[in-house]
Amino acid sequence: MTSDAKPERTQQRAHPRFPVLCDSIMSKILKNTLIFICILSMLLPLALAGCGNSTDTPGQTETDKSSGSVETETEGEKITLVGADGKTDYIVIRSDFSDSGSDDIKAAVDLLAEFKKRIPSSQLSIKTDYEKETELEILVGQTNRKESTEVYETLSDHEYTVRFVGDKLVILGKTKLGTLKAWQLFLEIYGSTWTETVSVPKNINLKESYAVSYKLALPQVTGATLYDTVLAEVCIQGIMNRESDSKVYIMGAQAEEWFDIMTSEGRWLSNQNFEEVKTFDEFLKIGLPYLKKVIIWDTAVPASVNVATTIAGVEDGIVMSDTLYDRYIDVVGSLPVTDLRGMFDGSVTGSKKNDCYAWAIENYLKKGLCSEDFICYYTDSATERNGGVTSYVSVRDWAVYNRSFVFDLSPWSDEAPYDEPDQPIGADYNSFISMLSTQYDLLKQKKTYEVCGFFNFTKYSHIGANTTSKHETVPTEWETVYLISAYGGYQNTATEWCWNQSLHSQYEYGTLKNNRPDTSHVEVDDNKTYLCIFMADYDSSYPLYEFLRNYWKDPKRGTIPLAWGINPTLLDTYPDIISYYYETATENDIFTSDASAAGYFNPSRVPDEFWDTMIQHNKDYFEQMDLSIAPMVLDWDQLDNVSLDAFSQFAPDGVASIVIDFHGQGGHQGAPYLYDGSLVYDVLNNGGISRESTVEEGYNILNAALGKKKPGVANFLLTRCVWCTPSYISDVIDLYRERHPEVDLEVVDIYTYFELRSQFLA
């Protein structure tokens, strides 16, 4: 089994943009010049022999945008559409049935205005095809004239053309949008020659096509059918967004607003041609040319859906359940099939689930067929399919797009997971370690990688129906990162419900500009209490995609300084969304990293030989997002000198940590201090305000954290606020000030906070 070249991560995004509407004028000039030179070389001997004079009249040209070719160029006469005196025998004809504002009407109106702009006395007018036919007409769009019909029948989907049929100039597309593009092409090619008259070659014959993107509605079904159908759709989406000029956007539950934002005027999708696709049947036919195989997963072995997704990415396949395959065999029946049914029976590991991953590791991961950048931690079908839950189906376009290895395993070695309670103890854990160690060995310390996705709470921790688990949710999160960090990885945790990552990721961005205040003149006032609000836990895709989008609309955002923590590696998946936040930030909205820096990892677990790679990784992302503070480093012990030396290279303006020793190894949170005379190592207040609190509860938390100020000694608090609105934070601070008028409380931005903290500690 082989795979094509994998998409590579680069410091500057290298994904291609959508195709532009048409080639540049210079490109066409160069093409025509080369042909002219060839013709001239053949005619030159004849000219020297006195065999007549040549003409410089432009000849017939036919271009095809999809191939970039120039088919013919011959000599021919010019037709004057509008003379220098403004007189014309031509009339613009458009359809009587077109609606006002439609693209074909716009083309006709724009043509008239452009000719008037070039020849102010132009007498050219527009009439509908209801009017009596005349000999000389410019037919814009699909009219009732036979010339329009003849040309229309020669066009394929999304093609458009400009040509003379007899004495009538036809400007026409297969669609109304195509007609507008035909007029725009006509203007681009010949507009520069319209100075004294509007004249064009009699034998003009332009023909081009445009790329179409698809806006896909969610299937109107429920239960397992919804799960299966969306799974098949996102496989096609991931492949098309990687391989095709025709891009796919799925209108998932949280996707509509981002689509509206990114297609609004001036944003990167505003000029793209999205057509609505309402059914899976229609979309399957569109995507079929990009598919190379069908992978039928075993619905009796939920983990096999992850193996199937891995294969789909590597081999450009579509994942189908047996029922979906049977329903659409007439459409996909000609494709080769990889059938996973009955393959995994527990004979290898004592666990059907882990037989899946043992086979996939051996046949795909170890052979270097999967992504070097991403491993996807996606919940399998065990807890989602029957209920029609698509939380970790919605993101599989990202796995397919990147050809990533996909898994769903417990990080615990001391108990069986809820979804397979009869497996040998530690089977999941052993597969987890096998996968991580394989990836680490493949990369040979040259790069780090992201584990995108979160553990399944019900399967692997004491929550909901899993009442017998020994482990709570937060320790399970920490244990997962504990394992990943030791094998050169980092995590992007909550990624569920994050639609269209394979498209959003293709936005090209440069270095972003953070709001950095001037702190050169600030001085500590020993009578003050300094409070810095860290808006936390946007370190993974879903909070960035959903929560922050809603909090960003808050009417009090910008009234107080707030430090918004965003994982810089999310530039890989949602660079356009992060850029949107940067572009719409107020002076009081300042960005930092979140847990722990460029990705969620434990510094104490990073292998010594891997630190150079990890430092460079963080430096690249911090530079792209213009960051220099890491205010929430999560670890099992206070950061040691090795870690602080590393952080000083990409977060020189300050580091703060939260330390929790779940293993009871003696880890502790030390006091703030100035490391090596310059780097502030502070403590982030972990018991900060959460979105579940009332204003009164928020006040109590803040009051307890600030404590009682000592006379003549400045008081400092850097507090974590998880998924709170600016209005809520503002209300809590107002209540504190109301009840403590004796406290000179100043809310400062995070750069000012660390500068003041540095002065205080020095």
Q: Is 158 left (phi over 0), alpha (psi -120 to 50) or beta?
A: left
Least confident range from 31-45, 142-156, 640-654, 697-711: namely 31-45
Q: In terms of pLDDT, which residue wins out, 691 or 331? A: 331
CA distance 203 to 61: 8
More confident residue, 173 or 8: 173
Contact between 753 and 684 under an 8 Å Cβ cutoff? The reply is: no
> Mind giving me the DSSP string for 212-274?
-EEEEPPPS--HHHHHHHHHHHHHHHHHHHHH-SS-EEE--TTTHHHHHHHTSTTSTTTT--E
Closest Cα to residue 249, out of 455, 571, 500, 59?
A: 500
The residues that bridge with 249 in the sheet, in sequence order, are 215
Closest CA to 573 of 501, 519, 485: 501
Give the span between the Cα atoms of 302 and 321, in whole angstroms: 11
Dihedral sign for Cα 51, 53, 55, 56, please: positive
Q: Is residue 463 scored above 80 in pLDDT?
A: yes
Res. 76 pLDDT band, cuts 50 70 90: low
Mean pLDDT, residues 645-673: 96
**Distance between CA 57 and CA 274 in Å, rounded?**
40
Closest CA to 476 of 462, 492, 497, 495: 462
Are the CB atoms for 537 and 595 separated by under 8 Å?
Answer: yes
Quick check: 662 and 479 in contact, CB under 8 A? yes
Quote the percentage of the chain above a pLDDT of 90.
86
Tell the residue number behind the tokens 């030989």, with chain if given.
609
Is residue 655 within 8 A of residue 680, CB to CB? The reply is: yes
Place of tokens 């492949």: 239
Give me the helix-helix angle, 304-315 and 223-243, nearest 10°: 20
pLDDT computed for residue 688 by the predictor: 83
- Sign of CA pseudo-dihedral 64, 68, 70, 71: negative
Per DSSP bridges, beta strands 168-173 and 205-209 are: unpaired
Calculate ∠ Cα 51-55-60, nearest 5°.
Answer: 120
User: For residue 60, what are the β-bridge partners?
Assistant: 74
Mean pLDDT of 560-589: 98
Place of tokens 């070389």: 41
Which tokens sit at 734?
Answer: 């107002």
Phi/psi of residue 389, nearest 5 degrees? -85, 130
Strands of the sheet containing 137-140, edge to edge, are 126-128, 91-94, 137-140, 168-173, 159-165, 205-209
Question: CA 564, CA 307: separation in Å to the nearest integer?
Answer: 37
pLDDT of 27 > 60? The answer is: no
Lowest pLDDT segment from 67-76, 118-127, 411-420, 610-619? 67-76
pLDDT band at 55 (very low <50, low <70, confident <90, very high): very low
558 Cβ neighbours under 8 A, 6+ residues apart: 586, 587, 588, 589, 726
Task: Provide the H-helix boundaries in 591-639.
Answer: 611-624
**Could you give all domains of the chain from N- to C-terminal order, each with its CATH number?**
76-209 (3.30.379.10), 213-504 (no CATH), 529-761 (3.20.20.490)
Q: What is the pLDDT of residue 510?
A: 87
Measured N-to-C along each axis, helices 25-48 and 176-190 cross at an angle, to the nearest 10 degrees, of 50
* Paired tokens of 34: 């080369």
Show Cβ contacts of residue 520 under 8 Å, excluding neighbours closer than 6 positions.
none
Residue holding tokens 């090596």?
676
Provide the residue type at 162 as one letter: V
Q: What is the pLDDT of residue 271?
A: 87
Which residue matches tokens 């020994």? 470
Residue 28 has pLDDT above 80, yes or no: no
Helices (H), 665-725: 695-706
Residue 521 has pLDDT above 60, yes or no: yes
Phi, psi of 685 (to 5 degrees): -70, 105
Per DSSP bridges, beta strands 69-74 and 60-64 are antiparallel
Least confident range from 98-102, 318-322, 506-510: namely: 98-102
Given a cut of 70, whether residue 35 has pLDDT beyond it is: no
Kindly report, residue by residue over 219-257, the tens digit of the pLDDT. Answer: 999 999 999 999 999 999 999 999 999 999 999 988 999
Mean pLDDT of 60-84: 56
330: pLDDT strictly greater than 60: yes
* Strand pairing category for 168-173 and 159-165: antiparallel
Distance of alpha carbon 364 from alpha carbon 221, whole angstroms: 33
Residue-averaged pLDDT of the chain: 90
Q: Is the pLDDT of residue 106 over 90?
A: yes
Is 118 a residue whose pLDDT tops 50? yes
State yes or no: pLDDT of 664 exceeds 90.
Answer: yes
Cβ atoms of 372 and 443 closer than 8 Å = yes
Instruction: Give dist(CA 142, CA 179) in Å, integer.
Output: 8
Model confidence at 342: pLDDT above 60: yes
| Type of residue found at 717 | L
> In the numeric block, which tokens belong to residue 388?
């029609």
